[in-house]
Amino acid sequence: MKYLMKTAAITALACLSFSESFAQDVYDDEIVVTGSRVTSGGAQDIKHFRGGVESGQVPTPEGMTSEGLLSEHDLYLTTTSACEQILCLNSSIKTASLVEGNYFAGFGFDTNISDDWDREPLNIVAVIDRSGSMGGDSIRNVKHSLMEITDNLRSGDQVSFVLYGSNVVTHLEPLVVTNQNKGIIRKKIGSIEIEGSTNMDAGLARGYDIAYNTKGSFEGTTRLMIFTDERPNTGRTDADGFMARAQRASLDGIGLTTIGYGVDYGGELAAKIASVRGGNLFYVGDSDDVENLFDKEFDFMVSEIAHDMTVRLRPAPGLKVNQIYGVPNHMMTEYPDGSVSMTVPTVFLSSAGGGLFASLDGSPQTDDAPLLEARLAYNEGTQRRTQSIEAHLSSRPELNLVKAEALSAQYIAMKSATEAYYNKDYETAFEIFHPFAKDFAAQKIDGLEEEYQLVANLDAIIAVEAGFEDRIENPPGFLRLRGEWEVTRADNFVDVHRGDRFDFEAHYVDHYRRSEGYDSPYETERYKINDEQIYLSYSDLTFKYSFSSKGHLRLRHRDGKSKIYMKPIERDGMTN
Question: What is d(CA 326, CA 344) in angstroms, rounded to the nearest whole number?
Answer: 9
Judged by DSSP in three states, 11 sits in: coil
Fold of 478-575: Lipocalin (2.40.128)
Dihedral sign for Cα atoms in the order 467, 469, 472, 475: positive
The torsion angle over the Cα atoms of residues 80, 81, 85 and 86, rounded to 10 degrees, is 10
Question: What is d(CA 31, CA 398) in angstroms, rounded to the nearest whole number?
Answer: 12
Question: What is d(CA 540, CA 361) in angstroms, rounded to the nearest whole number?
Answer: 54
Residue 363 has pLDDT above 60, yes or no: yes
Q: Mean pLDDT lowest for which of 64-68, 328-332, 409-413? A: 328-332
Alpha carbon 337 to its chain centroid, in Å, reads: 36
User: Is the entire prediction scored with pTM above 0.85?
Assistant: no
CA distances from 557 to 2, 491, 533 (A): 12, 10, 10
Question: What is d(CA 249, CA 49) in angstroms, rounded to the nearest whole number?
Answer: 29
User: What does the domain layout of the chain look like in residue ranges?
Assistant: 37-53+64-115+306-452, 122-302, 478-575
CA distances from 266 to 55, 238, 328, 386 (A): 17, 12, 18, 37
pLDDT value, residue 32? 41
Residue 167 has pLDDT above 80, yes or no: yes
CATH class assigned to 37-53+64-115+306-452: mainly beta
pLDDT value, residue 102? 96
Which are the contacts of 319, defined by CB distance < 8 A and separation ≥ 6? 102, 103, 360, 361, 362, 363, 364, 371, 372
Task: Classify residue 448 as left (phi > 0), alpha (psi -120 to 50) or beta.
Answer: alpha
Stated length of the chain: 576
Query: Are residues 268 and 62 in contact, defined by beta-carbon separation less than 8 angstroms?
Result: yes
Q: What integer is the mean pLDDT of 396-407?
A: 95
Query: Are residues 139 and 239 in contact, defined by beta-carbon separation less than 8 angstroms?
Result: no
Q: Model confidence over 38-63: pLDDT tens digits?
A: 888 888 888 888 988 887 889 988 87
**CATH entry, 122-302, from 3.90.1150.10, 3.40.50.410, 3.50.50.60, 3.90.1300.10:** 3.40.50.410
Residue 407: is it exposed, middle or buried by C-beta count within 10 angstroms (0-12/13-18/19+)? buried
Q: What integer is the mean pLDDT of 108-135?
A: 91
Residue 392 has pLDDT above 50, yes or no: yes
Alpha carbon 2 to its chain centroid, in Å, reads: 34
